[in-house]
Amino acid sequence: MAFLADALSRVKPSATIAVSQKARELKAKGRDVIGLGAGEPDFDTPDNIKAAAVAAIERGETKYTPVSGIPELREAIVRKFKRENNLEYTAAQTIVGTGGKQILFNAFMATLNPGDEVIIPAPYWVSYPEMVALCGGTPVFVATTQENNFKLTPEALEKAITPKTKWFVFNSPSNPSGAAYSHAELKALTDVLVKHDQVWILTDDMYEHLTYGDFKFATPVEVEPKLYDRTLTMNGVSKAYAMTGWRIGYAAGPLALIKAMDMIQGQQTSGACSIAQWAAVEALNGPQDFIPENKKIFEGRRDLVVSMLNQAKGIACPSPEGAFYVYPSCKGLIGKTAPSGKVIETDEDFVSELLESEGVAVVHGSAFGLGPNFRISYATSEELLEEACKRIQRFCAACK
Ligand SMILES: Cc1ncc(COP(=O)(O)O)c(C=O)c1O
Protein backbone atom coordinates (compact mmCIF):
# COMPACT_ATOMS: atom_id res chain seq x y z
CA MET A 1 0.00 0.00 0.00
CA ALA A 2 1.45 3.36 -1.03
CA PHE A 3 1.78 5.81 1.85
CA LEU A 4 1.20 8.98 -0.17
CA ALA A 5 -2.14 9.66 -1.84
CA ASP A 6 -2.45 9.06 -5.58
CA ALA A 7 -3.84 12.59 -5.90
CA LEU A 8 -0.34 13.94 -5.19
CA SER A 9 0.97 12.44 -8.40
CA ARG A 10 -1.38 14.78 -10.27
CA VAL A 11 0.12 18.00 -8.89
CA LYS A 12 3.34 19.94 -9.41
CA PRO A 13 5.11 22.19 -6.91
CA SER A 14 4.74 25.92 -7.54
CA ALA A 15 7.29 27.33 -10.01
CA THR A 16 6.92 30.79 -8.48
CA ILE A 17 7.91 29.44 -5.06
CA ALA A 18 10.85 27.55 -6.66
CA VAL A 19 12.17 30.77 -8.23
CA SER A 20 11.94 32.65 -4.93
CA GLN A 21 13.76 29.76 -3.23
CA LYS A 22 16.59 29.79 -5.79
CA ALA A 23 16.92 33.57 -5.44
CA ARG A 24 17.12 33.21 -1.64
CA GLU A 25 19.83 30.55 -1.94
CA LEU A 26 21.94 32.76 -4.21
CA LYS A 27 21.48 35.70 -1.83
CA ALA A 28 22.56 33.54 1.10
CA LYS A 29 25.76 32.80 -0.84
CA GLY A 30 26.39 36.53 -0.99
CA ARG A 31 25.16 37.20 -4.56
CA ASP A 32 23.46 40.49 -5.33
CA VAL A 33 20.03 39.26 -6.46
CA ILE A 34 16.95 41.29 -7.43
CA GLY A 35 13.81 39.17 -6.98
CA LEU A 36 10.97 40.04 -9.34
CA GLY A 37 9.08 36.83 -8.70
CA ALA A 38 6.83 37.76 -5.79
CA GLY A 39 3.10 38.22 -6.32
CA GLU A 40 2.43 40.69 -3.56
CA PRO A 41 2.31 44.47 -3.19
CA ASP A 42 5.38 45.93 -1.50
CA PHE A 43 3.18 48.48 0.35
CA ASP A 44 2.27 48.06 4.00
CA THR A 45 -1.34 47.40 5.08
CA PRO A 46 -3.01 50.81 5.70
CA ASP A 47 -3.01 51.99 9.34
CA ASN A 48 -6.81 52.13 9.72
CA ILE A 49 -6.97 48.42 8.83
CA LYS A 50 -4.22 47.51 11.28
CA ALA A 51 -5.97 49.57 13.98
CA ALA A 52 -9.23 47.66 13.37
CA ALA A 53 -7.37 44.40 13.99
CA VAL A 54 -5.82 45.72 17.21
CA ALA A 55 -9.26 46.92 18.37
CA ALA A 56 -10.72 43.48 17.58
CA ILE A 57 -8.08 41.81 19.74
CA GLU A 58 -8.73 44.25 22.57
CA ARG A 59 -12.50 43.64 22.36
CA GLY A 60 -11.84 39.93 22.70
CA GLU A 61 -12.83 38.98 19.15
CA THR A 62 -10.53 36.03 19.46
CA LYS A 63 -12.91 33.09 19.29
CA TYR A 64 -14.15 30.79 16.52
CA THR A 65 -16.38 32.58 14.05
CA PRO A 66 -19.24 31.19 11.96
CA VAL A 67 -17.77 29.02 9.16
CA SER A 68 -18.81 31.37 6.33
CA GLY A 69 -17.61 34.49 8.15
CA ILE A 70 -18.75 37.05 10.72
CA PRO A 71 -22.07 38.74 9.79
CA GLU A 72 -20.38 42.18 9.72
CA LEU A 73 -17.94 41.03 7.03
CA ARG A 74 -20.59 39.26 4.97
CA GLU A 75 -22.67 42.47 5.07
CA ALA A 76 -19.60 44.49 4.02
CA ILE A 77 -19.13 42.10 1.09
CA VAL A 78 -22.78 42.54 0.05
CA ARG A 79 -22.26 46.34 0.09
CA LYS A 80 -18.98 46.04 -1.83
CA PHE A 81 -20.59 44.07 -4.65
CA LYS A 82 -23.45 46.57 -4.83
CA ARG A 83 -21.23 49.66 -4.66
CA GLU A 84 -18.45 48.58 -6.98
CA ASN A 85 -19.99 45.99 -9.32
CA ASN A 86 -23.71 46.77 -9.24
CA LEU A 87 -24.39 43.16 -8.18
CA GLU A 88 -27.15 42.17 -5.75
CA TYR A 89 -26.40 39.40 -3.27
CA THR A 90 -27.74 38.56 0.17
CA ALA A 91 -25.32 37.90 3.03
CA ALA A 92 -26.30 34.20 2.87
CA GLN A 93 -24.97 34.11 -0.71
CA THR A 94 -21.48 35.13 0.44
CA ILE A 95 -18.63 33.17 1.98
CA VAL A 96 -15.35 34.25 3.57
CA GLY A 97 -12.30 32.00 3.30
CA THR A 98 -8.66 31.88 4.32
CA GLY A 99 -7.48 33.74 1.24
CA GLY A 100 -8.95 33.65 -2.22
CA LYS A 101 -7.03 30.43 -2.63
CA GLN A 102 -9.27 28.55 -0.19
CA ILE A 103 -12.40 29.89 -1.86
CA LEU A 104 -11.24 28.59 -5.26
CA PHE A 105 -10.15 25.26 -3.86
CA ASN A 106 -13.43 24.70 -2.02
CA ALA A 107 -15.49 25.67 -5.06
CA PHE A 108 -13.70 22.97 -7.08
CA MET A 109 -13.83 20.49 -4.21
CA ALA A 110 -17.57 21.05 -3.86
CA THR A 111 -18.36 20.51 -7.54
CA LEU A 112 -15.82 18.41 -9.44
CA ASN A 113 -16.34 14.75 -10.25
CA PRO A 114 -13.89 12.60 -12.22
CA GLY A 115 -14.14 13.48 -15.91
CA ASP A 116 -15.43 17.02 -15.31
CA GLU A 117 -13.54 19.52 -17.42
CA VAL A 118 -12.43 22.98 -16.35
CA ILE A 119 -11.48 25.47 -19.06
CA ILE A 120 -8.45 27.54 -18.10
CA PRO A 121 -7.14 30.17 -20.55
CA ALA A 122 -3.32 30.17 -20.80
CA PRO A 123 -1.24 31.82 -19.53
CA TYR A 124 -2.87 31.08 -16.18
CA TRP A 125 -2.22 31.53 -12.49
CA VAL A 126 -0.18 28.46 -11.48
CA SER A 127 -2.64 27.19 -8.87
CA TYR A 128 -5.76 26.72 -11.05
CA PRO A 129 -4.73 23.51 -12.84
CA GLU A 130 -3.22 22.01 -9.71
CA MET A 131 -6.36 22.68 -7.67
CA VAL A 132 -8.55 21.22 -10.40
CA ALA A 133 -6.36 18.11 -10.61
CA LEU A 134 -6.27 17.68 -6.83
CA CYS A 135 -10.07 17.83 -6.76
CA GLY A 136 -10.30 15.13 -9.44
CA GLY A 137 -11.22 17.30 -12.42
CA THR A 138 -9.49 17.69 -15.78
CA PRO A 139 -7.95 21.05 -16.68
CA VAL A 140 -8.50 22.02 -20.32
CA PHE A 141 -6.08 24.72 -21.43
CA VAL A 142 -6.92 27.21 -24.13
CA ALA A 143 -3.95 29.16 -25.44
CA THR A 144 -4.13 32.89 -26.05
CA THR A 145 -1.62 34.81 -28.15
CA GLN A 146 0.63 37.77 -27.48
CA GLU A 147 -0.74 39.35 -30.69
CA ASN A 148 -4.20 39.32 -29.04
CA ASN A 149 -2.69 40.67 -25.80
CA PHE A 150 -3.17 37.29 -24.09
CA LYS A 151 -6.95 37.55 -24.29
CA LEU A 152 -9.16 34.60 -25.05
CA THR A 153 -11.24 34.89 -28.21
CA PRO A 154 -14.92 33.87 -28.22
CA GLU A 155 -14.11 31.39 -31.03
CA ALA A 156 -11.45 29.64 -28.94
CA LEU A 157 -13.81 29.50 -25.95
CA GLU A 158 -16.64 28.05 -28.04
CA LYS A 159 -14.30 25.40 -29.43
CA ALA A 160 -13.11 24.33 -25.97
CA ILE A 161 -16.60 23.79 -24.50
CA THR A 162 -17.81 20.17 -24.41
CA PRO A 163 -20.76 18.48 -22.66
CA LYS A 164 -18.28 17.68 -19.87
CA THR A 165 -17.30 21.31 -19.24
CA LYS A 166 -18.25 22.20 -15.69
CA TRP A 167 -16.35 25.45 -15.12
CA PHE A 168 -14.81 28.24 -17.12
CA VAL A 169 -12.14 30.04 -15.08
CA PHE A 170 -11.91 33.74 -15.85
CA ASN A 171 -9.22 35.99 -14.39
CA SER A 172 -9.10 39.66 -15.31
CA PRO A 173 -6.78 41.47 -14.71
CA SER A 174 -4.68 38.37 -15.13
CA ASN A 175 -1.86 36.89 -13.18
CA PRO A 176 0.57 36.42 -15.01
CA SER A 177 -0.11 38.57 -18.10
CA GLY A 178 -1.74 41.65 -16.55
CA ALA A 179 -4.30 41.52 -19.38
CA ALA A 180 -7.75 42.83 -18.47
CA TYR A 181 -10.91 42.46 -20.55
CA SER A 182 -12.98 45.53 -21.40
CA HIS A 183 -16.77 45.34 -21.08
CA ALA A 184 -17.05 44.64 -24.82
CA GLU A 185 -14.34 41.96 -24.82
CA LEU A 186 -16.00 40.25 -21.88
CA LYS A 187 -19.45 40.50 -23.48
CA ALA A 188 -18.13 38.58 -26.48
CA LEU A 189 -17.19 35.74 -24.08
CA THR A 190 -20.42 35.86 -22.04
CA ASP A 191 -22.38 35.67 -25.32
CA VAL A 192 -20.77 32.25 -25.81
CA LEU A 193 -21.31 31.18 -22.20
CA VAL A 194 -25.06 31.95 -22.12
CA LYS A 195 -25.54 29.34 -24.85
CA HIS A 196 -24.07 26.52 -22.73
CA ASP A 197 -26.16 25.90 -19.61
CA GLN A 198 -23.84 23.25 -18.19
CA VAL A 199 -20.92 25.66 -17.87
CA TRP A 200 -20.42 27.52 -14.61
CA ILE A 201 -18.21 30.61 -14.44
CA LEU A 202 -15.59 31.05 -11.76
CA THR A 203 -14.41 34.62 -12.00
CA ASP A 204 -11.28 35.52 -10.04
CA ASP A 205 -11.47 39.29 -9.62
CA MET A 206 -8.54 39.49 -7.23
CA TYR A 207 -6.83 42.32 -9.19
CA GLU A 208 -10.03 44.33 -9.78
CA HIS A 209 -8.64 47.51 -8.23
CA LEU A 210 -5.36 47.42 -10.09
CA THR A 211 -6.16 48.74 -13.57
CA TYR A 212 -4.50 51.69 -15.24
CA GLY A 213 -5.24 54.69 -17.40
CA ASP A 214 -8.94 54.98 -18.16
CA PHE A 215 -9.53 51.21 -18.24
CA LYS A 216 -12.83 50.24 -16.58
CA PHE A 217 -13.03 46.91 -14.77
CA ALA A 218 -15.94 44.57 -15.59
CA THR A 219 -17.01 41.23 -14.10
CA PRO A 220 -19.07 38.56 -15.92
CA VAL A 221 -22.43 38.85 -14.09
CA GLU A 222 -22.38 42.64 -14.39
CA VAL A 223 -21.91 42.27 -18.15
CA GLU A 224 -24.39 39.38 -18.54
CA PRO A 225 -26.96 39.11 -15.72
CA LYS A 226 -28.27 35.88 -17.29
CA LEU A 227 -25.16 34.18 -15.87
CA TYR A 228 -26.09 35.10 -12.26
CA ASP A 229 -27.35 31.60 -11.38
CA ARG A 230 -24.15 29.88 -12.50
CA THR A 231 -21.36 32.25 -11.57
CA LEU A 232 -19.14 32.36 -8.51
CA THR A 233 -17.63 35.82 -8.20
CA MET A 234 -14.44 35.61 -6.16
CA ASN A 235 -12.41 38.47 -4.77
CA GLY A 236 -10.28 39.28 -1.74
CA VAL A 237 -8.37 41.88 0.20
CA SER A 238 -4.86 40.51 -0.47
CA LYS A 239 -3.83 42.63 -3.45
CA ALA A 240 -6.03 45.75 -3.34
CA TYR A 241 -5.46 46.42 0.37
CA ALA A 242 -1.91 45.06 0.64
CA MET A 243 -3.12 42.31 3.00
CA THR A 244 -1.55 39.14 1.57
CA GLY A 245 -0.54 37.85 5.01
CA TRP A 246 -3.94 38.37 6.62
CA ARG A 247 -5.45 35.57 4.48
CA ILE A 248 -8.94 36.80 3.70
CA GLY A 249 -10.74 36.05 0.44
CA TYR A 250 -14.44 35.94 -0.32
CA ALA A 251 -17.02 35.08 -2.93
CA ALA A 252 -20.69 35.44 -3.76
CA GLY A 253 -22.83 33.11 -5.81
CA PRO A 254 -25.83 30.78 -5.86
CA LEU A 255 -26.95 29.66 -2.40
CA ALA A 256 -26.62 25.91 -3.03
CA LEU A 257 -22.97 26.29 -4.06
CA ILE A 258 -22.18 28.57 -1.11
CA LYS A 259 -23.77 26.03 1.26
CA ALA A 260 -21.69 23.20 -0.23
CA MET A 261 -18.52 25.27 0.14
CA ASP A 262 -19.52 26.09 3.73
CA MET A 263 -19.87 22.39 4.48
CA ILE A 264 -16.38 21.62 3.18
CA GLN A 265 -14.85 24.55 5.04
CA GLY A 266 -16.61 23.46 8.23
CA GLN A 267 -14.73 20.15 8.16
CA GLN A 268 -11.48 21.78 7.07
CA THR A 269 -10.46 25.12 8.61
CA SER A 270 -13.81 26.47 9.93
CA GLY A 271 -14.09 30.26 9.88
CA ALA A 272 -11.11 32.37 8.75
CA CYS A 273 -9.02 34.14 11.42
CA SER A 274 -11.38 36.30 13.52
CA ILE A 275 -8.96 39.23 13.78
CA ALA A 276 -8.22 39.25 10.06
CA GLN A 277 -11.97 39.23 9.36
CA TRP A 278 -12.43 42.38 11.45
CA ALA A 279 -9.51 43.98 9.59
CA ALA A 280 -11.24 43.06 6.30
CA VAL A 281 -14.47 44.74 7.50
CA GLU A 282 -12.49 47.97 7.87
CA ALA A 283 -10.79 47.42 4.49
CA LEU A 284 -14.14 47.12 2.67
CA ASN A 285 -16.12 49.69 4.70
CA GLY A 286 -13.39 52.22 5.49
CA PRO A 287 -11.72 54.94 3.40
CA GLN A 288 -10.69 53.76 -0.07
CA ASP A 289 -8.48 56.69 -1.01
CA PHE A 290 -5.15 54.86 -0.87
CA ILE A 291 -6.30 52.57 -3.72
CA PRO A 292 -5.96 55.27 -6.41
CA GLU A 293 -2.70 56.40 -4.79
CA ASN A 294 -1.23 52.90 -5.04
CA LYS A 295 -2.56 52.52 -8.58
CA LYS A 296 -0.68 55.64 -9.68
CA ILE A 297 2.54 54.20 -8.29
CA PHE A 298 1.98 50.83 -9.99
CA GLU A 299 1.13 52.53 -13.27
CA GLY A 300 4.38 54.49 -13.23
CA ARG A 301 6.31 51.28 -12.58
CA ARG A 302 4.51 49.43 -15.36
CA ASP A 303 5.38 52.18 -17.85
CA LEU A 304 9.02 52.18 -16.75
CA VAL A 305 9.38 48.39 -17.03
CA VAL A 306 7.57 48.10 -20.37
CA SER A 307 9.65 50.86 -21.91
CA MET A 308 12.99 49.52 -20.63
CA LEU A 309 12.20 45.91 -21.60
CA ASN A 310 11.28 46.92 -25.11
CA GLN A 311 14.77 48.40 -25.40
CA ALA A 312 16.31 45.00 -24.58
CA LYS A 313 17.50 43.06 -27.65
CA GLY A 314 15.17 40.15 -28.43
CA ILE A 315 12.47 41.08 -25.89
CA ALA A 316 8.95 42.20 -26.85
CA CYS A 317 6.78 43.45 -24.00
CA PRO A 318 3.12 44.46 -24.38
CA SER A 319 1.76 47.06 -21.96
CA PRO A 320 -1.01 45.33 -20.00
CA GLU A 321 -4.09 46.99 -18.54
CA GLY A 322 -3.73 45.79 -14.96
CA ALA A 323 -2.36 43.74 -12.05
CA PHE A 324 1.35 44.24 -11.27
CA TYR A 325 2.86 41.89 -13.81
CA VAL A 326 4.24 42.11 -17.33
CA TYR A 327 4.65 39.06 -19.52
CA PRO A 328 7.26 39.78 -22.20
CA SER A 329 8.28 37.37 -24.92
CA CYS A 330 11.90 36.20 -25.02
CA LYS A 331 11.45 34.55 -28.41
CA GLY A 332 14.22 36.70 -29.88
CA LEU A 333 16.73 35.08 -27.50
CA ILE A 334 15.85 31.46 -28.25
CA GLY A 335 18.77 29.78 -30.06
CA LYS A 336 21.27 32.39 -28.81
CA THR A 337 24.27 31.57 -26.62
CA ALA A 338 24.29 33.02 -23.09
CA PRO A 339 27.50 34.48 -21.57
CA SER A 340 28.01 31.14 -19.75
CA GLY A 341 28.29 29.37 -23.12
CA LYS A 342 24.92 27.64 -22.76
CA VAL A 343 22.51 27.79 -25.68
CA ILE A 344 19.10 29.20 -24.66
CA GLU A 345 16.57 26.68 -25.90
CA THR A 346 13.54 27.49 -23.74
CA ASP A 347 12.16 30.30 -21.59
CA GLU A 348 13.26 28.26 -18.57
CA ASP A 349 16.85 28.39 -19.88
CA PHE A 350 16.45 32.13 -20.40
CA VAL A 351 15.38 32.80 -16.79
CA SER A 352 17.98 30.51 -15.25
CA GLU A 353 20.81 32.06 -17.33
CA LEU A 354 19.54 35.54 -16.46
CA LEU A 355 19.61 34.66 -12.76
CA GLU A 356 23.09 33.11 -12.96
CA SER A 357 24.55 35.85 -15.10
CA GLU A 358 22.92 39.04 -13.77
CA GLY A 359 21.20 38.05 -10.53
CA VAL A 360 17.67 38.92 -11.69
CA ALA A 361 14.98 36.44 -10.64
CA VAL A 362 11.89 36.22 -12.87
CA VAL A 363 9.53 33.31 -13.60
CA HIS A 364 9.52 31.41 -16.90
CA GLY A 365 6.33 31.53 -18.94
CA SER A 366 6.04 27.80 -19.45
CA ALA A 367 5.20 27.56 -15.72
CA PHE A 368 2.08 29.58 -16.57
CA GLY A 369 1.29 27.48 -19.62
CA LEU A 370 2.44 29.85 -22.38
CA GLY A 371 5.88 30.67 -23.67
CA PRO A 372 8.51 31.54 -24.61
CA ASN A 373 7.79 34.36 -22.18
CA PHE A 374 8.62 35.33 -18.64
CA ARG A 375 6.76 37.08 -15.86
CA ILE A 376 8.05 40.11 -14.04
CA SER A 377 6.29 41.33 -10.93
CA TYR A 378 6.76 45.10 -10.69
CA ALA A 379 5.56 45.24 -7.08
CA THR A 380 8.91 46.62 -5.99
CA SER A 381 10.64 50.03 -5.93
CA GLU A 382 11.34 51.98 -9.15
CA GLU A 383 14.99 52.04 -8.22
CA LEU A 384 15.22 48.23 -8.12
CA LEU A 385 13.09 47.87 -11.24
CA GLU A 386 15.33 50.23 -13.16
CA GLU A 387 18.44 48.35 -12.05
CA ALA A 388 16.84 44.99 -12.90
CA CYS A 389 15.81 46.18 -16.37
CA LYS A 390 19.33 47.54 -17.01
CA ARG A 391 20.70 44.11 -16.12
CA ILE A 392 18.18 42.40 -18.44
CA GLN A 393 19.22 44.76 -21.25
CA ARG A 394 22.89 43.94 -20.57
CA PHE A 395 22.19 40.20 -20.49
CA CYS A 396 20.26 40.28 -23.75
CA ALA A 397 22.96 42.31 -25.47
CA ALA A 398 25.55 39.76 -24.31
CA CYS A 399 23.64 36.80 -25.77
CA LYS A 400 25.09 36.04 -29.20
C1 LIG B 1 -5.02 35.35 -9.77
C2 LIG B 1 -4.93 35.08 -8.32
N3 LIG B 1 -5.99 34.54 -7.70
C4 LIG B 1 -5.97 34.25 -6.40
C5 LIG B 1 -4.86 34.50 -5.64
C6 LIG B 1 -4.89 34.10 -4.18
O7 LIG B 1 -5.02 35.16 -3.34
P8 LIG B 1 -5.01 34.99 -1.76
O9 LIG B 1 -3.73 35.59 -1.30
O10 LIG B 1 -6.19 35.80 -1.30
O11 LIG B 1 -5.15 33.57 -1.43
C12 LIG B 1 -3.72 35.04 -6.23
C13 LIG B 1 -2.50 35.26 -5.45
O14 LIG B 1 -1.41 35.32 -5.93
C15 LIG B 1 -3.77 35.35 -7.61
O16 LIG B 1 -2.71 35.89 -8.23
Give the separation between CA 185 and CA 272, rounded to whole angstroms. Answer: 35
Q: What angle do CA 209, 365, 208 make, to 5 degrees?
A: 10
pLDDT of residue 359: 95
| CA dist list (Å): 29 to 32, 43, 103, 276 | 9, 28, 38, 36
Q: In ligand 1, which atom is closest to the CA atom of 248? A: 10
Q: Is the omega angle on the peptide bond into residue 372 within 30 degrees of 0, that is, cis?
A: yes
pLDDT of residue 14: 76
Q: What's the gap in Å between 268 CA and the centre of ligand 1? A: 19
Q: What's the gap in Å between 240 CA and the centre of ligand 1? A: 11
Contact 391, 315 (CB under 8 A): no
Contact 348, 333 (CB under 8 A): no
Query: Taking the alpha carbons of 19, 294, 323, 202 in that order, is the dihedral positive or negative?
Result: positive
Q: In ligand 1, which atom is closest to the CA atom of 174? A: 1
pLDDT of residue 9: 85
Q: In ligand 1, which atom is closest to the CA atom of 204? A: 3
pLDDT of residue 8: 86
Q: What's the gap in Å between 287 CA and the centre of ligand 1? A: 23
Contact 162, 44 (CB under 8 A): no
pLDDT tens, position by position, 383-400: 999 999 999 999 999 999
pLDDT of residue 360: 96
Q: What's the gap in Å between 393 CA and the centre of ligand 1? A: 30
Q: What's the gap in Å between 102 CA and the centre of ligand 1? A: 10
Q: What's the gap in Å between 247 CA and the centre of ligand 1? A: 10
Q: What's the gap in Å between 178 CA and the centre of ligand 1? A: 13
pLDDT of residue 39: 84
Pocket of ligand 1 (CB under 6 A): 39, 99-101, 125, 171, 175, 204, 206, 236, 238, 244, 249
Q: In ligand 1, which atom is closest to the CA atom of 101? A: 11
Pocket test of ligand 1: the residue of 19, 96, 206, 246 to mutate, having most ligand atoms within 8 Å of its CB, is 206
Give the separation between CA 58 and CA 47, rounded to whole angstroms. Answer: 16
Q: What's the gap in Å between 170 CA and the centre of ligand 1? A: 13
Q: What's the gap in Å between 101 CA and the centre of ligand 1? A: 6
Q: In ligand 1, which atom is closest to the CA atom of 236? A: 10
Q: In ligand 1, which atom is closest to the CA atom of 104? A: 4
What DSSP state is assigned to residue 197?
T
Q: Whose CA is nearest to atom 16 of ligand 1?
A: 175
Pocket test of ligand 1: the residue of 20, 181, 239 to mutate, having most ligand atoms within 8 Å of its CB, is 239
Can you give the pTM of this predicted structure? 0.96
pLDDT of residue 17: 77
| Beta-strand pair 231-236/200-204 | parallel
At CB < 8 A and 24+ separation, what contacts does 1-8 make?
7/133, 7/134, 7/136
Q: In ligand 1, which atom is closest to the CA atom of 102? A: 11
Contact 83, 63 (CB under 8 A): no
Ranges of the chain with pLDDT below 70: none
Give the separation between CA 101 and CA 244, rounded to whole angstroms. Answer: 11
